C-alpha cells in the first residue's frame, strides 16, 4: 500500500494501528514451546528486520478510503445506483446511474465493476446481446470469528500479537491482537466443514 499511497503506514498508525517488529512482537505458542515465525524455525525472539501493522479491517479500509480521496483527480459519488452500461461504437463508454431521484450519465475510458456477488454485469451483458460468462463455484473451507476485550491491568503478554496452535500445522489457530487503547481482539480461524460454497 505504501507504493500506492505516500506515508500510508504513518497515516495508518495515526488512526490507531500498532506497528509490530517481526520476530520480537509476534509469537506463535506451540505445545512444544514458542516460535517467532509462522514456519516455527525461529524459537528465540530476535529482530527479523521487518514491520507488521496490526489493525482492524474497518480501520484499514477507512485509511485506504481517506488516502484515495486525497488524490485531486478522484471523486466518490455516494448514494448512487448504476442502472446500465453506456454502449457506443462497440465499446462500453461509461454508465447511467440515478442519484437523488435523477438519472445521470458518466462517460469513462475504463469502466470497472466492483459489485462482487451482487454484480449486475451478467444481466447488463445479456441485455446488450452478449453471452453471459459461465459461473464457477468455489467451495470455501475457511471461516473466522472475532471479539474485542478490554485488557485487564494485570495482563502481561510477552507479545503484542500472538497465535495459539494445537498442532504444528496451520489448519486451525486462534490469536490475540493488542492495541494502544488497551484492548485486545481475539480471533479463531481455520477450515470448518459445512461452510456454504462461495459464488
pLDDT tens digits for range 120-136: 999 999 999 998 888 88
- Is residue 61 domain-shared with residue 86, that is, in the same domain? no
Q: How far apart are CA 199 and CA 194, in angstroms?
A: 15
Is the pLDDT at 47 greater than 90? The verdict is yes
Position 196 scores a pLDDT of: 44
Q: Which residues pair with 52 in a beta bridge?
A: 20
pLDDT tens-digit map of 159-191: 565 665 544 444 445 555 655 555 566 666 555
Q: Where in the sequence is the domain holding 60, given as residue range(s)?
A: 1-17+55-75
- Is residue 140 domain-shared with residue 199, that is, in the same domain? yes
- Is residue 142 domain-shared with residue 190, that is, in the same domain? yes
Q: How far apart are CA 168 and CA 138, in angstroms?
A: 27
Total domains present in the chain: 3
Q: Work out the average pLDDT over 93-113.
A: 93
Q: Indicate the pTM of the whole model.
A: 0.68
Q: How far apart are CA 45 and CA 22, in angstroms?
A: 9
- Is residue 8 domain-shared with residue 29, that is, in the same domain? no
- Is residue 7 domain-shared with residue 70, that is, in the same domain? yes
Q: How far apart are CA 87 and CA 193, in angstroms?
A: 44
Q: What percent of the chain has pLDDT over 90?
A: 33
- Is residue 3 domain-shared with residue 13, that is, in the same domain? yes
Q: Work out the average pLDDT over 92-118.
A: 91
- Of 109, 127, 145, the residue that ends a domain is 127
b/e sequence 147-173, b meaning 16+ C-beta within 10 Å: eeeeeeeeeeeebbbbbbbeeeeeeeb
Q: How far apart are CA 18 and CA 64, in angstroms?
A: 16
- Is residue 92 domain-shared with residue 151, that is, in the same domain? no
Position 195 scores a pLDDT of: 42
Position 93 scores a pLDDT of: 93
- Is residue 145 domain-shared with residue 195, that is, in the same domain? yes
Position 198 scores a pLDDT of: 39
- Is residue 33 domain-shared with residue 64, that is, in the same domain? no
pLDDT tens-digit map of 49-87: 999 888 888 889 999 999 999 999 888 888 999 999 999
- Is residue 7 domain-shared with residue 32, that is, in the same domain? no
- Is residue 65 domain-shared with residue 85, that is, in the same domain? no
- Of 97, 127, 157, the residue that ends a domain is 127
- Is residue 158 domain-shared with residue 197, that is, in the same domain? yes
Rounded to the nearest integer, the mean pLDDT of the chain is 79
| Structure-model confidence comparison of residues 60 and 139, the more confident one | 60
Amino acid at each position: 500500500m505504501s507504493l500506492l499511497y505516500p506515508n500510508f503506514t504513518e497515516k495508518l498508525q495515526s488512526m490507531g494501528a500498532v506497528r509490530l517488529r517481526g520476530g520480537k512482537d509476534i509469537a506463535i505458542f506451540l505445545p512444544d514451546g514458542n516460535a517467532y515465525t509462522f514456519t516455527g524455525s525461529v524459537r528465540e525472539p530476535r529482530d527479523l528486520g521487518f514491520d507488521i501493522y496490526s489493525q482492524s479491517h474497518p480501520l484499514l479500509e477507512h485509511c485506504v478510503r481517506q488516502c484515495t480521496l486525497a488524490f485531486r483527480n478522484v471523486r466518490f459519488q455516494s448514494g448512487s445506483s448504476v442502472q446500465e452500461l453506456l454502449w457506443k461504437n462497440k465499446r462500453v463508454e461509461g454508465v447511467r446511474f440515478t442519484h437523488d431521484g435523477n438519472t445521470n450519465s458518466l462517460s469513462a475510458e475504463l469502466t470497472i465493476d466492483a459489485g462482487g456477488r451482487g454484480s449486475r454485469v451478467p444481466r447488463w451483458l445479456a441485455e446488450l446481446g452478449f453471452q453471459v460468462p459461465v459461473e464457477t463455484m468455489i467451495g470455501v473451507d475457511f471461516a473466522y470469528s472475532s471479539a474485542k476485550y478490554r485488557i485487564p491491568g494485570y495482563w502481561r503478554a510477552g507479545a503484542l500479537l500472538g497465535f495459539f496452535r494445537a498442532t504444528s500445522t496451520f489448519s486451525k489457530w486462534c490469536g490475540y491482537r493488542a492495541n494502544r487503547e488497551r484492548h485486545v481482539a481475539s480471533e479463531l480461524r481455520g477450515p470448518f466443514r459445512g461452510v456454504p460454497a462461495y459464488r
